[in-house]
Amino acid sequence: MGMIQANGIRTHYQLMPAKNPATPEPPTVVFIHGLGYDSLASFYLTLAAPVSQAGINVITYDLRAHGRSDRPVSGYRVADFVEDLRALLDETDVEGPVYLVGNSFGGTIAFSFAERYPSRVRSIVAIEAEPATHEWSRKIGGTLTNVVDWMEDPEILAWLEDTYGAHHARLSKVASAVIRATTIVEEVPQGPLLDAEALRGIRCPVLSIVGSEGFQSDNLLAVQSSLPDCRTEVIDGQNHSVLVERHRTVRSLLLDWVDEIEAIPAEVEVGAA
Amino acid sequence: MTTTPITEVPSQEAVLEEISSMLLRVLDQYGLDGFDDTGEIAGKITLDTTFHDELGLESIDLVTVGSMLTDRYGEQVNLAAFLADLDIDDVIGMRVGLLVDFVRTALSRPRLAGS
């Protein structure tokens, strides 16, 4: 287990180096998990090993207030998560442009990171994820408030206990207390938000993987239509849990995508010797 | 990284004992909520014990156990690679016995040169 100090946060991360890489400098994928009851485990237990075995360097980490990383009382704007990622890449000496693969809120971080540090991103794979737009802010604000209320609702807790056991009801109470102990619900929706012009500035190729019944079911192509270079893959009959429930599908989409992007000749760098 | 080659596959009992002590170390971080002491739970971990429901561990704990297994048995024992081939329901319902079998199978596999 790796712990590293990044942007003032003691951060839990896991590296899986590329196995038998095809080139001396194999591509690097950074997996970014989602918000709330999530951790690097969602990627570590599904995609991390097969992707590293395909000859790709893998980094995954626990976001602040998640998994085994520190939980400060405040500092939960998207921009804070972007700086955490920048610091993690600096501290782990990852210099080349990387593939950011983000699940849900992890994808939101990826978009804002690419907008802030375009030269450090080769491509984004967004799983059930949207950029931090005004519309996203409105949705996530409502969802976060509802989730915390839901997690403490006596009827819900009773149902959890009956269905999954007392342990789950306890976990739910603990998780909501953790959320309430921070400013996460208030700060996340603040972004800062990306307007149409900022989105047009995200020029790297993007693969948007969405469930037909997921969080973007009202407009599956909304992300694609707001970005200059984005393709959408729809997983039929799937709700928001695309990553954990359909990890084999996501794995093959991701590996094919990396192959496709790696086959594109690198841009000639202006001013390079 | 070099690891001590294990020439003989350890017995089921031996692996269960190792894994039980790893699980206790993970549970220790949570202060063993709901259990009187480590002795009480140590005796209760069997091949049939469920990781999730009975021990109350979460998926992030599996990541920790995976690192412990690799530290103990070498790179050949790659829990993340094993779990990546399971469905989510199998991971959620996982019993300690599945971990024990996984370790013994991984150790019995001939190692490829350079892997």
Residue type for B71, please? D
Domain locations in chain A as residue ranges: 2-132+192-262
Classify each residue of A185-222 as buried b or exposed e, where b means 16 or more C-beta atoms within 10 Å of its C-beta: bebbbbbebbeeebbeebebbbbbbbbeebbbeeebeb
- Which residue carries 């084999």 as its tokens? A248
Q: Are A72 and A66 in contact (CB under 8 A)?
A: no
Q: What is the mean pLDDT of chain A?
A: 92
Amino acid symbol at A251: R
A136-140, A187-191, A224-228, B6-10: range with lowest mean pLDDT: B6-10
Whether A230 contacts A237, CB under 8 Å: no
Is residue B21 exposed (0-12), middle (13-18) or buried (19+ Cβ within 10 Å)?
middle
Inter-axis angle of helices A78-91 and A105-116, nearest 10: 70
User: Regarding predicted confidence, which is higher, A111 or A2?
Assistant: A111
Q: Write down the pLDDT at residue B5.
A: 56
pLDDT band at A135 (very low <50, low <70, confident <90, very high): very high
Whether B94 contacts B51, CB under 8 Å: yes
Has the ipTM of the complex gone over 0.90? Answer: no
Share of chain B above pLDDT 70, in %: 78
How would you classify the pairing of strands A121-127 and A57-61? unpaired
Q: What is the mean pLDDT of residues A99-108?
A: 97
Q: Which residues of B38-47 are buried (b: 16+ CB within 10 A; e: fewer)?
A: eeebeeebeb
| Residue among B91, B34, B59 nearest A167 (CA) | B34
* Residue A75 near residue A3, CB atoms below 8 Å: no
Average pLDDT on A23-42 reads 92
3-state secondary structure B26-73: HHHCCCCCCCCCHHHHHCCCCCCCECCCCCCCCHHHHHHHHHHHHHHH
The Cα–Cα gap between A50 and A53 comes to 5
A168 confidence band (pLDDT: 50, 70, 90): confident
Domain range annotation of chain B: 12-108
Q: pLDDT (tens digit, 9 = 90+) per residue, A66-97?
A: 989 999 999 999 999 999 999 999 999 998 89
Residues of B in contact with A44 (CB under 8 A): 63, 66, 80
Distance CA B13, CA B20 (A): 10
* A175 in contact with chain B, both atoms CB, cutoff 8 A: no
pLDDT of residue A234: 98
Inform me whether the pLDDT recorded for A209 exceeds 50.
Answer: yes
The better pLDDT of the pair A21, B32 is held by: A21
Q: What is the CATH number of domain B12-108?
A: 1.10.1200
Most confident listed range (A72-81, A163-172, B33-42, B105-114) = A72-81
Q: Give A163's pLDDT tier (boundaries 50, 70, 90).
A: confident
Give A235's strand partners. A211
Interfacial residues of B (vs A; Cβ cutoff 8 Å) = 53, 56, 58-60, 62-64, 66-67, 78, 80-81, 83-84, 88, 91, 115
- Local confidence band at A179 (pLDDT 50, 70, 90 cut-offs): confident
B21 pLDDT band (50/70/90 cuts)?
A: very high
Contact of A178 with chain B, judged by CB distance below 8 Å, is answered with: no
Residue A161's pLDDT is what? 80
Query: Are A49 and B56 inside 8 Å of each other by CB?
Result: no
Q: Are B33 and B57 in contact (CB under 8 A)?
A: no
* Domain A2-132+192-262 CATH superfamily: Alpha/Beta hydrolase fold, catalytic domain (3.40.50.1820)
SS3 call for A263 = coil
Q: What is the rounded average pLDDT of the residues A47-52?
A: 96
Is pLDDT at B113 greater than 50 in this prediction?
no
Q: How many Å lie between the alpha carbon of A119 and the closest alpha carbon of chain B?
A: 31
